[in-house]
Structure 1
Amino acid sequence: MAAPELPTQQVMRGIVLMIVAASLFACVDGFSKLLAETQSVGQIVWARYTMAVPVLFATTAPSHWRSLFRTSRPLAQLGRAFIPLGTSVTMVLSVRYLPLAEATVILFTAPFLVVLLSALVLKERVPVITWMAVIVGFAAVILVARPGFGTMSGYMVFPLIGALFFAAFQLVTRWLRAGGETAHTTLAWTLAVGAVISAPFAFLTWVPVSAEAWLLMAGLGIVFGLAQALMVRAYAHASAGVLTPFSYAQLVAAAIIGMVVFAAVPDVWTVVGIVMITIAGITVARARRS
């Protein structure tokens, strides 16, 4: 009889899953950037959700398929499912016009926006150290964006809007989990609603798709579905307070993909911004955990 796994082994498994999931999310944006050269935003978003649905079923035990969409809050799940669509659309626009690393850094203002909204909307008490980290995080974004000092600074609005959607997404997800909704059910609603809602926009903006583009769209959806599934599994092994700092692996992965695939080497200010926003994000995560 095998010895039971130690809690530390469970936590380490969750951390590894989170790092892999975060890296895959960077790959999703890489696929989107490649597709943005030839396909419409509607097509890319549709592929992201539609081709991820089979991955959801493939990574779920068949005995649980019938209960995937079972929820006591269908309207809340439906409303929440609309929010990540906003993130998807704005991030496709972001990577179309911006280097991958810069767009990802600005998207990661979301945790700091969550702190602001938690204080303003949920009336949560926020420690001083967290407010200091929020200031550092926003300073990092200004350092990366350098508004008014570059031809692409105007496009920074897209990942900023995406960060707003991402922050709202996190807050609503927290509320649903507190109400007893499972992560698998929430993910199922997100992917299904995203596939249905994006379909007419893809149809109205459809442009011819080459064989290579079809492969990229399939890869986009599969990787997006795997990233979501791995993240759900990560949270089954460790708490959000433990895992959140490791989600910043997406920043590193985005920088590497940008250099290898798109020959976009981040400048020194972007690298400094990545370090600043990572340290600030980890500080926020630890403060919320304590």
Structure 2
Amino acid sequence: MALPLDHLSADAAAARRLRLIAIALMVAAMALFAVLDTTAKYLSAHENPLQVAWLRYVVHACLAAIIFNPWSAPGVWRTKKPGMQILRSILLAGTTVFNFSAIAFIQLDQAVAIAFLTPLLVAFFSGPILGEWVSRRHLIVIIIGFTGVLLVTKPGFGAFHFAYLLALANAICAAFYNIATRFVTAYDSARTSIAVTSLFGALALAPIMPFVWHWPDNALIWSLHILTGMLGGFGHFLLIHAHARAPAPVLAPFVYVELLFMLLTGWLVFSDVPDVWTLAGAGVVIAAGLYLLTRERVQPADIVE
């Protein structure tokens, strides 16, 4: 029996609203991550990036334990997919370590430009892993966005820095972390994912600390460490909720807006002024993201055309 057209229209409108909410959550998460990276770059000038990453997870885990305690959130620390959550934690820890190490040597906008390989990797692997095949139209837009990344990085011109490889490793870990996040949302709540990921991340990096530990110099440094944990925790909370409302290929292109936030924080905090190629590349990737947002208002994004 065919469903009434108005019923189909209502379902389609509800689906579009969910995806638009997911996109808004994704953009908010990118803003928090830009502030997180800016703070981490400042801290990495005083301490080893591995220590900065570990304290970020320690603070994150402590906040999660306070908020998601056995009385206010019973059962939140129990996961239905412990193996996948451990894998997510390892991937996220790798992402944090590689990213913090990269931004200790190169500008924020350079690091995030290389990290923009992540949407391409997510879109490519989400099909065979999650069955979420990207449409040809969206794939073309993602590729166009990637040309903007090439404008920023200008491969083949200038001196090569080893930190670019660290940024590339960050993109690879981030892509598989995003895919794993999409998978676990079907089994665990966002609160569970936030709690166990922070704990596993802190445990994974703890054995390295005796070799790199340096006591923070003053109260400001300690305050910034606390801030990194708060920004990371809330940012990933938004990220998980976004993935619970939309397929990974729909959300992947919107990591591009982080470049805008990185340009702003890099200029405000470190007086890093992007060149004309960086600005041109930023324009391309932002235009690609805005186009996809417009398409979300017209039709669902995962229809293969």
Report the TM-score when normalising by structure 1. 0.83
**For 1:10-65, what per-residue CA distance to the aligned partner results, in whole angstroms no more than 9, with x for missing partners?**
98876665443321111110111001112112211111111112332455476453
**1:198 and 2:223 equivalent?**
no
**1:46 and 2:54 equivalent?**
yes
Q: Which runs of 5+ in 1 are unaligned?
A: 1-6
SS of aligned partner of 2:88: helix
**For 1:68-122, what per-residue CA distance to the aligned partner results, in whole angstroms no more than 9, with x for missing partners?**
1212221221122111111101110121111112211221221111112234656
One-letter amino acid of the structure 2 residue matched with residue 170 of structure 1:
N
Distance (Å, rounded) in 1 between the aligned partners of 2:118 and 2:240: 19
**1:95 and 2:97 equivalent?**
no
**1:184 and 2:194 equivalent?**
no
CA separation of 1:107 and 1:35: change in aligned 2, threshold 3 A: same
| 1:175 Cα deviation after fit | 2.0
One-letter amino acid of the structure 2 residue matched with residue 29 of structure 1:
D
> Percent identical across equivalent pairs?
30
One-letter amino acid of the structure 1 residue matched with residue 266 of structure 2:
G
Distance (Å, rounded) in 2 between the aligned partners of 1:128 and 1:13: 23
**1:224 and 2:232 equivalent?**
yes
| 1:136 Cα deviation after fit | 1.8
Give the match for residue 81 of structure 1.
Answer: 89
Distance (Å, rounded) in 2 between the aligned partners of 1:119 and 1:230: 23
Distance (Å, rounded) in 2 between the aligned partners of 1:61 and 1:13: 28
Which of 164, 169, 184 is equivalent to 2:172? 164
One-letter amino acid of the structure 2 residue matched with residue 89 of structure 1:
V
CA separation of 1:112 and 1:15: change in aligned 2, threshold 3 A: closer
CA separation of 1:107 and 1:149: change in aligned 2, threshold 3 A: same
Distance (Å, rounded) in 1 between the aligned partners of 2:256 and 2:146: 16
CA separation of 1:115 and 1:19: change in aligned 2, threshold 3 A: closer
**For 1:180-235, what per-residue CA distance to the aligned partner results, in whole angstroms no more than 9, with x for missing partners?**
22222122121000011112212221124201322221222222223233444566
Distance (Å, rounded) in 1 between the aligned partners of 2:174 and 2:103: 16
Distance (Å, rounded) in 2 between the aligned partners of 1:57 and 1:233: 20
CA separation of 1:283 and 1:240: change in aligned 2, threshold 3 A: farther
Distance (Å, rounded) in 2 between the aligned partners of 1:11 and 1:165: 25
Report the TM-score when normalising by structure 2. 0.79
SS of aligned partner of 1:97: coil
Which of 100, 103, 119 is equivalent to 1:111? 119
CA separation of 1:108 and 1:15: change in aligned 2, threshold 3 A: same
Give the match for residue 136 of structure 1.
Answer: 144
Asked if the contact 1:33/1:95 (under 8 Å) is kept, the reply is yes
Which of 157, 174, 186 is equivalent to 1:149? 157
Distance (Å, rounded) in 2 between the aligned partners of 1:11 and 1:116: 20
Give the match for residue 210 of structure 1.
Answer: 217
| 1:173 Cα deviation after fit | 1.6
Give me the CA root mean square deviation: 3.1
